[in-house]
Structure 1
Amino acid sequence: MKTELYKLLGKPVEGGIVVIADHASNHVPDGIDLGIPADLMNQHIAIDIGVAAVAERMTGAGTSAWLAGISRLVCDLNRDIGMPGMFPVVSDGYAIPGNMIGDDGRAARVAEYFAPYHTALEEMLESAEPALIVSLHSFTPGLATCDKPRPWEIGILYNQDDRAARIAIALLEAEGLTVGDQEPYSGRILNASMNRHAEAHGRPYLSIEIRQDQIADEAGQALWAERMTRLCAGVVERL
């Protein structure tokens, strides 16, 4: 199933695993001009680099993947309505003049993109209740506005429900990885999609951030897809 808003890979099954990638695409719909150089659309401010390929490789044997179809610069789908950054006017030091759209413009994008995306996602989850939801993201090794490099290969985020997170952190550390517990972001703050679709319904979930240099090429994507598939199976087994 595919629309401009999302693409569903595989068939969701009850008791399976659903991978959700809210920042999988850098697509800008017709009629929107962000007013930025084209090369910025291939950088982390516009898309979670490597995530779509990892999610696609994870699909199969009870795992499906839900990939957003629009850039986070058009509408950040992993935000709450009214939350700063939903329509960023500046991202990592870059001005986004096409997002100076006022209250009416923001409301129009919510109605056209955000609301139908999350309605369709919830309908899919209700149709085949998963054993685990995986919110898959990637993060840049360092921000342009900060010289300090980020040491974690992977971060695990959570808000109130840390059931799956605690299992996952231990499994990843056992592999010798440097794992961020609520790093490089805190799930108390940046967990909107999982708050909406997982915590609000009691569904176990993992909110995962992989450092982009780990999944920037096919070899890394294959390695991490296998690792994430194995991790998710281990978490489900232990829940």
Structure 2
Amino acid sequence: MSPISIAGDAAAGLLLITDHASNHVPEGVDLGVDPALLHEHVAIDIGVDPLGRALCAALGCPGLLGPISRLVIDLNREEDAPGLIPTASDGHRIPGNIALDADAHAARIEHYWRPYHNAVAESIATNAPKLLISLHSFTPMLREGGADRPWQIGVLYNQDDRAARIAIPLLEAAEIVTGDNQPYSGKVLNATMNAHGEANGIPYLGLEVRQDLIGDGPGVAAWAERLAPIIAATRDAL
């Protein structure tokens, strides 16, 4: 299953990628969970679909939105990573995934994970972006404990921190409460950008937005307005 493509001008030098933009569960996939769970953060990065679209519009750049719930398969994991097809997430068991045999596991990868990453690679080869934007959202607190997450934005990176080191001071200057590799570390969880950014020598800006800030239309509009000029300035400073 290929990503949802957002039209834009390759000359903008940007490509926005959002792995967890959808809570879609394809016909024939039975997760065995309460349907209400599909509207929670374990199934989808809340707010990133409309925010991604708004940022693409503001920046005039193309975008690729993940088309499937991460409870079906997590597109931001390596093909052989534990948790690629989660059996539990933040205290919720996923019975339909626990029951998968080896053939069904391989079929999920073949039908959903591989076409997505092939399409991302093709878009990068075609558009030759100067900067990748990796957009996610995070919950203010996990169900399974942990401290409050006060950051408004987290900037994630692994070995390549070129864009992060430009963007973090810009975010702080805009009075945005910014986490440097918080609430997650890109050195641990960065599969899509490792494969398509770091492996190709392309700078990337990994942005995690706190989901309560972008849970409605006005929030999305406000954060698109705040983030778009910072993304553009980061690109221009590379």
Tell me the TM-score range normalised by the shorter chain. over 0.9
Q: Which amino acid aligns with 2:155?
A: I
Q: Report what 2:24 is aligned to.
A: 27
Q: Which runs of 5+ in 2 are unaligned?
A: none
Q: TM-score scaled to structure 2, two decimals?
A: 0.96
Q: Which residue of 2 aligns with 1:47?
A: 44
In the TM superposition, residue 148 of structure 1 has moved relative to its aligned partner by: 2.1
Matched ranges for 1:84-233 at <5 A: 84-100=82-98, 101-146=100-145, 148-233=147-232
Let me know the Cα RMSD of the aligned residues. 1.2
Question: What is the match of residue 72 of structure 2?
Answer: 74
Amino acid in the other structure paired with 1:5 = S
Distance in structure 2 (CA, Å) of the matches to 1:196 and 1:212: 26
Instruction: Please tell me whether the aligned partners of residues 48 and 137 of structure 1 are also in contact (alpha carbons under 8 angstroms).
Output: yes
% identical equivalent positions: 50
Question: Is the 1:25–1:70 Cα contact (8 Å) retained in structure 2?
Answer: yes
Q: Deviations over 1:179-202 (max 9, x none)?
A: 111110000111000000011001
SS in 2 for 1:59: helix
Q: List structure 1 segments (4+ residues) > 4 angstroms apart after TM superposition.
A: none
Query: Does the 8 Å CA contact 1:56/1:65 hold for their aligned counterparts?
Result: yes
Any idea what SS the aligned residue of 2:86 has?
coil
Shift of 1:162: 0.2
CA 1:99–1:130 in 2, change beyond 3 Å: closer, same or farther?
same
Aligned positions, number: 236
Structure 1: tracts of 5 or more residues without a match: none
1:12 Cα deviation after fit: 4.6
Secondary structure of the corresponding residue to residue 232 of structure 2: helix
| Mean Cα deviation higher: 142-151 or 4-13 | 4-13
SS at match of 2:168: helix
